Chains A and B, each alone.
Chain A
Amino acid sequence: MFSPSSLVSRRRGEGHAPLLLAAALVMAVPGFLVTACGSQPGTGAARSEPTQTTPTTATAGGLVADAGQAPATGRRLSSSARALRLLSQAAQAAISMSYQGQEVVTRWSNGSGSVLVSDIWHVSGGQTVTQTLAAGNSLSSQPYLSSDDDSQAPEGVLGVTVPLIGLLENHYTVVYSGTGSADSRTAQVVEARRDDGSLAARFWLDDATSLPLEREVFDSASHVISQDVFIQVRFSSQAHPAVPAAPARGPSDPPGPWADPLSHTQLLALPAQGWLVPAGLPGGLSLFTGARTTTSTGTVLDLGYSDGLSVVSVFEQRGHLAAKLDGWQRTTVNGQVIYVAEPDQRSLTWSSRGMVYTVMADAPVQTVDAVIGVLPHDKPPGFWKRMSRGFVRLASWVNPFG
């Protein structure tokens, strides 16, 4: 069927208290706080608004999508204990149950959409394997195979993990919306609403197992920006998951996997080591995880930010961008020159002050633009500085002893 092309194994610890971590960073490293945190996200001149409108989904059973129709109360409503319990059970079920199925991930951005299909196998408390097709059919490209050894933060669970549930509770009002259906199964429906009452996300959780079956995420303009559906789900009681064998690591694989998540102490020590570690980013995104790995060009630090729905990973690596970036396209965001990876368009990179920043985001375009805006960028040199630098370079070119 598929020929696995790569295997990436990594371990992740149990979800830690992200709010405590954020609070500790606020107290300990105020110099690294992003001052624009919590401000209104900016808009990028080179990027457009998503245009997909809120659908009335048939998979939601008797529910009718009403994103943005809730009255704006101006006061934060309290989350439903039942809703929080359902989400917590869903996160645990994603770890403790054995299941397999197919996940269809759809993203809308810049007025167009893209879809990705992945086969997922998970063994209770153990390994998770995702086998991804780039374009939703088996003929389009090579598959991707990953393996999560301890399954503490399994992939393919529609963003329902313990750390993200904690952040979701803090940033949104989580309410129970009744029952619906997804993948021809009865589901409990939970919604996340913003302070103004508008719908931010909707989850369909399997009534029998609590496993997440579907998730929709909306931007502040009530446009759906992502839809994840888990279909053809089979549980261990129906069929034991036949997890594909993991291929041996090749010489081209990364030298080492991403290490265990950094502890609070390790995160607090990063600024002293020259890393930029904002405690928060625009859009209400809080730092909740961090990890390190080593590549052929040095150590890479990953900082994970989220509000429970949107997730932004900021990768930092010391050095400078290569002069020629294959697969990257030069663009401008907020007046800053950056490079966007093709074809996913969700990865953005630039270098500043001896550090290469790469942002990967599952977030509204406005939020991503605002995040880019608050991270460091090199200012273009002034006229006289540029002339001076140019004369020095010209002199060095004609200097036979240079």
Chain B
Amino acid sequence: MSHLGDRLSALVDGELDGAERDRAHAHLASCEQCRTEAAELRILKQKLSTLMTGAPAEAAMTKRLIAMTGPGGPMPSRRGATRVSRRPGTRGLRGARSAGRRRYLMLGTVSLVVGLGAAAFSAGGGGEAAPGPRITPPVEIYSVEHAITTGQVPFAPPEISPASASATSLP
């Protein structure tokens, strides 16, 4: 008994015409081995079909994510976009996606520049980082000398903490 051979895959792919397809179906009805092979081929084709339909979507998503990372990231392929846009009905959608990527790129660039500028402006404040001791003026020592200079008693008594000492406020 002759089995279907290469015609089995053609049958599964739907490439056989009417008379050839009928003869193949008649053989499958009587041949357990070919039915098993045909079933396995359909399952394999279904799995491959599933893989092939998911891969393009994931690739596009990857490109968009890379584009959103800002300057330095890879630019989306314009050649691919042009080729795809030839398909009728998809040109507007692809153009909108490209404009969106450009907006993301622009927004990311501006945000980066503004953020860096604000950080630099903030970090650039304060005095120069010059050498020398960091000093808290010793008021108690100065007060004594000032009292000598003025010929009066020190108005800010030494060793009185700001929290505990205060001159009496007059109304």
**Interface positions of A (Cβ within 8 A of B):** 5-6, 8, 10, 12, 94, 103, 105-108, 112-116, 118, 120, 130, 132-136, 140-144, 146, 148, 153-161, 164, 228, 254, 258, 289, 291, 293, 295, 297-298, 300, 302, 304, 306, 311, 313, 315, 317-323, 325-328, 341-344, 346-347, 349, 351, 354, 356, 358, 360, 362, 378, 381, 383, 385-391, 393-394, 397
Assess whether A105 is in contact with B137, with CB atoms less than 8 Å apart. no
Complex Cα distance, B144 from A6, in Å, reads 11
Complex Cα distance, B167 from A377, in Å, reads 30
Partner of A325, one of B136, B152, B159: B136
Complex Cα distance, B70 from A24, in Å, reads 69
Partner of A317, one of B135, B139, B149, B165: B135
Assess whether B157 is in contact with A132, with CB atoms less than 8 Å apart. yes
Partner of B123, one of A94, A327, A328, A390: A390
- Beta-carbon nearest neighbor of A315 in chain B: B142
User: Contacts A113-B169, A343-B162 hold; do A6 and B140 have CB atoms under 8 A apart?
Assistant: yes
Partner of B145, one of A161, A291, A298, A356: A291
Jot down 17 A-B pairs with beta carbons below 8 A, ordered by A.
A12-B148, A115-B167, A132-B153, A136-B168, A140-B165, A144-B158, A157-B152, A160-B151, A298-B133, A302-B145, A320-B130, A327-B161, A343-B162, A343-B165, A346-B156, A347-B137, A362-B155
- Using a CB-CB cutoff of 8 Å, which residues 109-160 of chain B contact chain A? 116-117, 119-125, 127-128, 130, 132-160
Assess whether A105 is in contact with B152, with CB atoms less than 8 Å apart. yes
- Beta-carbon nearest neighbor of B134 in chain A: A322
Q: Which 5 A-B pairs have the closest CB atoms?
A: A390-B124, A390-B120, A114-B167, A113-B170, A386-B124
B2 within 8 A of A: no
Assess whether A156 is in contact with B152, with CB atoms less than 8 Å apart. yes
Chain B residues contacting A107 (CB-CB under 8 Å) are 155, 167
Partner of A327, one of B122, B124, B139: B139
B-side interface size class: 35 or more
B30 within 8 A of A: no
Given A155-B152, A378-B127, list of 15 further CB < 8 A pairs? A8-B158, A135-B166, A144-B154, A254-B138, A291-B148, A302-B149, A322-B135, A323-B134, A341-B162, A342-B162, A344-B139, A346-B155, A360-B142, A362-B155, A390-B124
Assess whether B142 is in contact with A347, with CB atoms less than 8 Å apart. yes
Assess whether A134 is in contact with B142, with CB atoms less than 8 Å apart. no
Chain A residues contacting B157 (CB-CB under 8 Å) are 116, 132-134, 141-144
User: Contacts A130-B153, A320-B134 hold; do A142 and B160 have CB atoms under 8 A apart?
Assistant: yes
Chain A residues contacting B124 (CB-CB under 8 Å) are 381, 385-391, 393
Assess whether A358 is in contact with B141, with CB atoms less than 8 Å apart. no
User: Contacts A6-B140, A358-B142 hold; do A142 and B159 have CB atoms under 8 A apart?
Assistant: yes
The smallest C-beta distance from B155 to any residue of chain A, in angstroms, reads: 6
- Beta-carbon nearest neighbor of B149 in chain A: A304
B164 within 8 A of A: yes
Complex Cα distance, B152 from A148, in Å, reads 12
Assess whether A164 is in contact with B151, with CB atoms less than 8 Å apart. yes
Complex Cα distance, B133 from A330, in Å, reads 20
Assess whether A141 is in contact with B151, with CB atoms less than 8 Å apart. no
Assess whether A393 is in contact with B138, with CB atoms less than 8 Å apart. no
Complex Cα distance, B156 from A358, in Å, reads 14
Assess whether B155 is in contact with A344, with CB atoms less than 8 Å apart. yes
Assess whether B169 is in contact with A112, with CB atoms less than 8 Å apart. yes
Chain B residues contacting A320 (CB-CB under 8 Å) are 127, 130, 132-135
Chain A residues contacting B156 (CB-CB under 8 Å) are 341, 343-344, 346-347
Chain B residues contacting A297 (CB-CB under 8 Å) are 133-135
User: Contacts A258-B145, A387-B121 hold; do A112 and B154 have CB atoms under 8 A apart?
Assistant: no
Chain A residues contacting B165 (CB-CB under 8 Å) are 134-135, 140-141, 343
The smallest C-beta distance from B143 to any residue of chain A, in angstroms, reads: 7
The smallest C-beta distance from A336 to any residue of chain B, in angstroms, reads: 13
